[in-house]
Structure 1
């Protein structure tokens, strides 16, 4: 790892910030230093591209313009505003932290990274971003961009997949952060990592800080950052049940013990769990359908007759799981009561008003494409 002198650090700050002042991205959350705006944008930007976030951010701010509005929001309204962004626990944690701020902090924000880290869902990076941008604390904000930029500048070969590596980068970057403009410094690093120093197809030859880039001088740019591969997401085969009655479609709200908490889907049944409940020597699609029909009739008093939807299962990948949802359909002539089933009948025209996760939207699209183009009209 390279070490910079005090003079080099000063020159790096000057060069970086001069470039940022001229070329920094004009983003809606950069129009002021309001901590609420910084916070929401940083949470939305986790695992999500800037261009995707912008319309969500603007809609979110129009819907929940203050911390108090977010704290008091109905969960359905919050989840609907977040729908499509993914990683839905981020939205729930935002509201929990807003409630903390209103109740425990009387609306006053902690002004340091250490204090901000006590709020639900705020980790070291987000705390550093808010503290530096909103409150001028000279602390680094170490995200994927910072890992990439500084590993290349300084030839840091520690594995960024390891949790302890963050501390190494924080210690290295801390004395480099501009004490007069820490927020601008951190945002400049974000912009640098999103432009000249991207993960792929980077352009170090034209980077404004190329003279400080040891990996460029040594022609080793592609070696950094060092990161071991994450394990492949676990395959999770499901059955998705499209149950239709004169009253609408059977919908279920995901509970607190499940992924996608608070969102609505068609009934989703894990194939492995079904086979544990009704074991057979050689499970097949036919035996699974028979077991599902028996379970719904016996446990829920919902007699259904299931048929398959042609085509491959609907696929959707989360960080640690890859769902494959085989679609099954049941058309009911009458509408049974849901006395023993935790769901509700929703008219087709009202489904899209509910908070729906991406996997549910994919299921609906597949069903429409398989001969039911008007099944779920858009509002």
Structure 2
């Protein structure tokens, strides 16, 4: 099929030199695919290099302490990806003697491995002609094949998976799937597709009909929910109070400065009262040092950051006092990093 040849030839000549393209190790390719979910390639590269250096084998990751794992992932966001990756790797270590399964049924049974990741690992690492359909691929094929189904609907993915199954190269499925992904990243972009540079323009139905800017069809997501929080850096001498988030839900098991829900623009004395009540002690000298917004995929945090002093606090089991050095070792999320940076700029930590 000429489409396959044109795409694969272009990929061979123009592909970016990315670290995960220098290996055929299914474990390392698996890591890269999980990191690349909802994260830009440029952001992933240094994380991937450090991660593979820290956990060079599947067994290294399977046996890693979760806090060390989360610290390696710190800043990438969507931390459930890291926990699910480790859980899936443990399954491979225990059930498959450390060899990543080479069948869709088996690899799809692993924690955190969805249809796209399964197809990507199978085709790239093992050369098996399996579909690997993500948003990038759906955008490209919606234009090439003039598919007008709404890609925001989960059921639409099946249409694209079948399309890839029908047209994938059986001689070089790795380059075919990666070629589709690369085409979406470099040429067939969301808002300004570079059609005149496209290696498969002659095969593109949307281009021939002048409809490339209309596709893909995607309904808008619902408006995200907003929550208001106070994040407080509470000191007792040189000790800093930190709390661990629950082991489930958003940012599970990450550490943060104590947080409470609060109306925006509360007065410092109101913050002191709320914190004193929650910590069953005395909170004083509250001073606002930063306000910021942090946007997650499904909600927004409006955060007001405070410094305060704490005395005679009755700490629950998920809180502890730490030194500056210990704080640097704790895995913290993006919002907490913003607060930490504000404190560092003031010379407080």
Per the TM superposition, whether the score is higher than 0.5 is yes
**1:6 is matched with which residue?**
none
Cα separation, 1, equivalents of 2:181 and 2:235: 48
Q: What is the match of residue 280 of structure 1? A: none
Query: Structure 2 matches for 1:183-332, cutoff 5 A?
Result: 183-271=174-262, 285=267, 288-289=270-271, 291-296=273-278, 300-305=279-284, 307-310=286-289, 313-332=291-310
Task: Please state how far the C-alpha of 1:240 moved relative to its aligned partner.
Answer: 0.7
Mapped to 1, the partners of 2:86 and 2:224 lie a distance apart of: 28
In structure 2, relative to structure 1, the CA distance for the partners of 1:248 and 1:294 (3 Å cut) is: closer
How many Å separate the matches in 2 of 1:349 and 1:314?
A: 25
The CA RMSD measured in Å over matched residues stands at 2.0
Mapped to 1, the partners of 2:268 and 2:22 lie a distance apart of 59
| Contact 1:240–1:267 (8 Å) recurs in 2 | yes
Tell me the equivalent position of 2:320.
344
Q: Secondary structure at the match of 1:57?
A: helix
Structure 2 vs 1, CA of residues 155 and 291 (structure 1 numbering), >3 Å: closer, same or farther?
A: same
Aligned: 1:70 with 2:46: no
Q: Distance in 1 between matches of 2:317 and 2:162?
A: 54
Moved more, 154-163 or 250-259: 250-259
**CA distance in structure 2 between the partners assigned to 1:108 and 1:350 by the alignment:** 36
Tell me the equivalent position of 1:359. Answer: 335
- Checking the alignment, whether the CA contact within 8 Å between 2:230 and 2:306 is kept in structure 1 is yes
Larger radius of gyration: 1
Q: Whole-Å Cα distance in 1 between the matches of residues 262 and 248 of structure 2?
A: 18
Question: Using the alignment, how far apart are the partners of 1:98 and 1:76 within structure 2?
Answer: 16
Superposed displacement of residue 302, structure 1: 2.3
Deviates more, 1:241-250 or 1:61-70: 241-250
Structure with the bigger percentage of strand: 2
How has the CA–CA distance of structure 1 residues 337 and 271 changed in structure 2, closer, same or farther, with 3 Å as cutoff? closer
* TM-score when normalising by structure 2: 0.94
Partner of 1:7: none
Structure 1: state its 5+ residue gaps.
Answer: 1-9, 273-282
Q: Return the offset for 1:329.
A: 2.4
Q: Aligned equivalents of 1:127 and 1:157: distance in 2?
A: 26
2-side partners of 1:223 and 1:358: how far apart?
A: 35
Query: CA–CA distance in 2 between the matches of 1:62 and 1:366?
Result: 31
Whole-angstrom distance in 1 between the partners of 2:307 and 2:275: 11
The CA deviation at 1:339 is: 4.8
Gaps of at least 5 residues in structure 2 are none
Contact 2:235 2:309 in 1 (8 A): yes
Deviations 1:274-318 (A, max 9, x none): xxxxxxxxx95468426414413xxx432112524155x221111
Work out the CA distance in 1 between the residues paired with 2:40 and 2:329.
25
The alpha carbon displacement at 1:217 in A equals 1.6
Check the 8 A contact 1:247/1:345 in 2, yes or no. Answer: no
**Structure 1: distance between partners of 2:128 and 2:144:** 23
State how many pairs are aligned. 349
1:159-216 residue CA offsets vs partner (Å, 9 max, x unmatched): 1110000001111221100011111100011110111101122201111111111111
